[in-house]
Amino acid sequence: DGGITQSPKYLFRKEGQNVTLSCEQNLNHDAMYWYRQDPGQGLRLIYYSQIVNDFQKGDIAEGYSVSREKKESFPLTVTSAQKNPTAFYLCASSPSAAGGTDNYGYTFGSGTRLTVV
Amino acid sequence: SQQGEEDPQALSIQEGENATMNCSYKTSINNLQWYRQNSGRGLVHLILIRSNEREKHSGRLRVTLDTSKKSSSLLITASRAADTASYFCATALSPTGKLIFGQGTTLQVKP
């Protein structure tokens, strides 16, 4: 089945530690996105990538890093510089580099819940 | 700040009733989309309405768009307990294609 796989489902981070969240899609979509969701809140854009080997900062990129070496993979690293990383992280993709303006909806993964311990 | 703002923040109805959620946005858009999120899960795309459309239907869903008022509404008719979820509107901005999400409406449908 085509879709987006996020792993792990739950992740615990110690203070000062970097952690990497995995996002893999087999939809052959060009664009991929990372969002952060805090309890009872909407989604805020962290980073996005419209094509391979290129990515752009979203609204809350500080303390995060990404790479897009392969079309199907868009991992997110939460660095020690992110002081409040506890949140639900969602990865999404869309068919073309035009993203939401290509009049297709995004496909979302099932999320990773990150907790600082 | 968020592009979309939803109203109400929470809605509780009985099964069989209709549920209406509203979304307002600030800037010009290419399209507006509605998503559903069950607790602790990812978002699921429900329906998309383009900026040159005024109304769209999909099953029990009806979406309207008023670009002069920069607002949209989502109507779920004959609601079911399985419709219990959070509903988000999202606006697509040119040229980046980024989707900007609202805060969401939490809908509870009581059996």
Measured from the Cβ of residue A104, the count of other Cβ atoms closer than 10 Å reads: 18
Asked if B98 reaches chain A (Cβ–Cβ under 8 Å), the answer is yes
Partner-chain contact B103 A42, CB within 8 Å: yes
Quick check: helix, strand or coil at residue B81?
helix
Amino acid at A95: P
Residue entry with tokens 């068919």? A95
| Total beta-carbon pairs less than 8 A apart between chain A and chain B | 88
For residues A74-95, give the mean pLDDT: 94
B85-A20-B39 Cα angle (round to 5)? 10
Q: Return the pLDDT at A15.
A: 85
Quick check: A99 and B103 CB within 8 A? no
Read off the pLDDT band of B72 (50, 70, 90): very high
Average pLDDT of span B23-43: 92
Structure tokens at B94: 């040119």
Residue B1 pLDDT class (50, 70, 90 cuts) = very low
Closest chain A residue to B43 measured between Cα atoms? Answer: A108
Mean pLDDT of the B7-31 span: 93
Least confident stretch, A4-8, A19-23, A71-75, A78-82: A78-82
> Which residue from B108, B110, B92 is spatially nearest to B100, judged by alpha carbons?
B92
Quick: pLDDT tens for A100-117.
Answer: 777 788 999 999 999 988
Strand partners, B29: none
